[in-house]
Amino acid sequence: MAVKIDPDACGHIENCPVQGLCVKICEQGALVEENGDVAIIAEKCDDCDLCIQNCPNQAISKA
């Protein structure tokens, strides 16, 4: 099951306290930057939960 991103909680990468750490730590390339926002490529997500555990805004959760 892929993760989902709450765009209201996430905001833009430029406003992220850790500057889009979720994109940087995703080993599968499932999280990408798209026009300054975080987007999910669901078929690449392997449910490792690293992004959920490391999001300072608690904007990422299970779909």
The pLDDT of residue 1 is above 90: no
> What pLDDT is attached to residue 54?
96
Assign residue 7 the CATH number of its domain.
3.30.70.20
Contact indicator for 60, 3 with CB cutoff of 8 Å: yes
DSSP H helical ranges for the chain:
7-10, 21-25, 50-54
Q: What is the pTM of this model?
A: 0.89
pLDDT band at 63 (very low <50, low <70, confident <90, very high): confident
User: What tens digit of pLDDT does each residue of 6-16 get?
Assistant: 999 998 899 99
User: What tens digit of pLDDT does each residue of 8-51 get?
Assistant: 999 889 999 999 999 999 999 999 999 999 999 999 999 999 99
How many domains are there within the chain?
A: 1
Structural domain that includes position 20: 3-62
User: How many helices and strands in the chain, by DSSP H and E?
Assistant: 3, 4
Identify which of 51, 17, 47, 13 has the alpha carbon closest to the alpha carbon of residue 31. 51
